Structure 1
Amino acid sequence: MNQREFFNRLAPIWDEITKHDEKKIDKILKLIDIKDNLNILDVGCGTGILESFLLKYNPNSITAVDISEKMIDVAKSKYNYSKINFIAQDIMEHKGLYDLIIIYSAYPHFSDKNALINHLSNMLNKGGKLVVAHSDSREKINSVHSRHQEVKEDRLPPAIETANIFSKYLYVNLVIDNDEMYIVSGIK
């Protein structure tokens, strides 16, 4: 079973089996200093966990992309906003220009992280920001993944490793890797 099949199979129950601390998500979004009126790309959006939080910042648009068609179907059923466009697509095939690109709780699932960051950095407007974030610790994420055959190799690397990849393409402005959360942010 590949990742797409794995996430398609879990999509109908994803919101029941995964819990996201809303206060931590709000804290992450404050720490990365989101402005109003941005064009945002949510990479690996799943069932649309982040969209309700991003809408608070009055974005011009949110493009939410996930490789799992069934995750996108669930996300579409939860939102009816003209500002949000859900797309079932491999992010490496996606094109566009954005002010903020955020990968929330999906980064471990990308095997070629350098190619991903390179591709996404090319989709940032000048002054735009790319963010990788998790509302749990790296240790907890990796522990959860280790218990599931389909994602056991999907590891969240130390934030300094992610920051080193970012620094090839962006100015790194924030690195947090503690027992509460994981954030790496870079500016074009």
Structure 2
Amino acid sequence: MNDREFFNSLASKWDEICNHDEIKIRKIIELSKVEKGCKVLDVGTGTGVLVKYLLELLPETIKAVDLSENMIEIAKGKYNDERVEFVAGDIMEFHEGNFDYIFLYSVYPHFTDKEKLFSHLYKLLNENGKIIIAHSESKEKINNIHKKSDSVKDHLLPEGKITANIMSRYFQIDKIIDDEEMYFVSGILVTETDKG
């Protein structure tokens, strides 16, 4: 079973089996310092868990992408807001750029080639835009859950500093949190002229 089939099979019960702590999600959003009127890309949106919180910040647009058509259908049923567009598809084949923020909430372990992922997302982000990798659980808890399923047993969350090291080839690392409460790594797209 590939990733698409796996997540399609779980979509109808996803919101029941996944715990997304509202307090921690709000902390993730707060740490991200999302500005009003921005353009957001929500990678691996699933059933649109993050969309609710992002809408509260009054973005101009949110593009929410997921590999699973079934997840996207559930997400569409939750929101009726012209600022949000849901797209079923592989983010690696998505080429519409100019985002101010790119969120990967509860999806990062499912990308096997992380270097390729960041190289691709770099092209979709505006100058001084921010990329955020986040989980509302600890890396240990996420990895223990994944190890119990044959389909995702190899989809493990690396240490925050390892993620930051890969990201730093494309982004200036802004913040790393990797503790028993949550996982959060953010980076900013800074051009060579900005660095000067």
Please classify the TM superposition score into its range, dividing by the shorter chain length: over 0.9
Relative to the length of structure 1, the TM-score reads 0.99
Distance, in Å, in 2 between the alignment partners of 1:121 and 1:139 is 28
Residue equivalent to 2:100: 99
Q: How does 1:45-56 map to 2 (within 5 A)?
A: 45-56=45-56
Residue equivalent to 2:182: 181
Residue equivalent to 2:145: 144
TM-superposition CA deviations, 1:98-150 (whole Å, max 9, x none):
00000000000001011001110111101100010000000000000000110
Residue equivalent to 1:59: 59
Distance, in Å, in 2 between the alignment partners of 1:176 and 1:32 is 12
Residue equivalent to 1:125: 126
* Structure 2 counterpart of 1:83, one-letter code: R
Q: How does 1:67-78 map to 2 (within 5 A)?
A: 67-78=67-78
1:29 is paired with a residue whose SS is: helix
Q: How does 1:6-85 map to 2 (within 5 A)?
A: 6-85=6-85
State the 1:2 CA deviation: 0.6
Residue equivalent to 2:170: 169
Distance, in Å, in 1 between the alignment partners of 2:126 and 2:39 is 10
State the 1:56 CA deviation: 0.8
Distance, in Å, in 2 between the alignment partners of 1:9 and 1:98 is 30
2:76 is paired with a residue whose SS is: helix
TM-superposition CA deviations, 1:20-70 (whole Å, max 9, x none):
000000011111211111100000000000000000110000000000000
Distance, in Å, in 1 between the alignment partners of 2:159 and 2:100 is 26
How many residues end up aligned between the 2 structures? 188
Relative to the length of structure 2, the TM-score reads 0.95
Distance, in Å, in 1 between the alignment partners of 2:25 and 2:44 is 16
State the 1:187 CA deviation: 0.3
Distance, in Å, in 2 between the alignment partners of 1:33 and 1:97 is 18
State the 1:90 CA deviation: 0.3
Distance, in Å, in 2 between the alignment partners of 1:116 and 1:74 is 25
Residue equivalent to 2:136: 135
Question: What is the percent sequence identity of the aligned residues?
Answer: 52
* Structure 1 counterpart of 2:26, one-letter code: D
Residue equivalent to 1:154: 155
Residue segments in structure 1 that go unaligned for 5+ positions in a row: none
| Stretches (4+) displaced over 6 A | none
1:150 is paired with a residue whose SS is: coil
Distance, in Å, in 2 between the alignment partners of 1:131 and 1:118 is 14
TM-superposition CA deviations, 1:47-98 (whole Å, max 9, x none):
0000000001100000000000000000001111100000001000111220
* Structure 1 counterpart of 2:131, one-letter code: L
Distance, in Å, in 2 between the alignment partners of 1:127 and 1:4 is 32
